[in-house]
Amino acid sequence: MVVHVFMSHTKLDKDFCDRFDVAVARVGIRAFRSEFETIKPPAWKTIKDQMGLSSAMFLLVGKELIKSQTASDQSVEARAEWKHTQNWIAYEVGLACQRGIDVWVIGDDVKINFPVPYLNNYALYGLGRKKNRKIPFDEIEFIKDVLENYSKDRFHPLGFLGRNITCSNTSCGSEFNLHSVVQKEKSVVCPTCLKAIEFPEGWLLKKKTK
């Protein structure tokens, strides 16, 4: 039986999406990527049907997606395109939440600037290139491991021991697994409320050996 996952993204982030596709292909599972698929109208039905086949949803937050929301020189058409994209993301996240499957938000070394109403796994640099960052693990291998485990039906929401956090903003309370290293005294923007979550002791730091 072929395992399916659902990609939520903007086609403008082609390089980021292509890197995800490579990881998917190496693992041997199938990802629904809308611009490469034949979507018969109405589009919402195709999206719903594909989500119904999927074991997890991956929201890929790339540089173009971030830029499309904040660019000061946006045309009317560009603003309309961002609103269109945002509406589809909200719809797709809602479907995934209703089905009870995992929702991953994976950033391409960007700071998220729009709210995601529901998620249970967050990776700030999930498809980055290790040689460009001082981090203690290989992020590309990490996402391959994630996909491989879905193919073996091992993952369940909030199932990562020691990685679960709750947003400190009392009006938010979003709970998710954080899969990225955070240095001491640094903060991470909550992807649901966009408020800073402080990490005075750091997060997932490599333990020093004597």
| Mean pLDDT confidence for 154-162 | 57
What DSSP letter does each residue of 87-151 carry, written as one string? HHHHHHHHHHHHHT-EEEEEESS----S--S--SEEETTTT--GGGS--SS-HHHHHHHHHHHHH
Per-residue pLDDT band for 159 (boundaries 50, 70, 90) equals low
Q: Reply yes or no on whether the pLDDT at 96 is more than 50.
A: yes
Assign a CATH topology to domain 4-199: Rossmann fold (3.40.50)
Q: Where do the structural domains in the chain lie, given as residue ranges?
A: 4-199
Say what the pTM is.
0.87
* pLDDT score at 39: 77
Q: Reply yes or no on whether the pLDDT at 209 is more than 60.
A: no
- For residue 32, list its beta bridge partners: 6
Question: In this predicted model, what pLDDT tens digit does every residue of 43-70 receive, in sequence order?
Answer: 899 999 999 999 999 999 998 888 887 7
Task: Please state, rounded to an integer, the average pLDDT across all residues of the chain.
Answer: 82
* pLDDT score at 104: 94
Per-residue pLDDT band for 136 (boundaries 50, 70, 90) equals very low
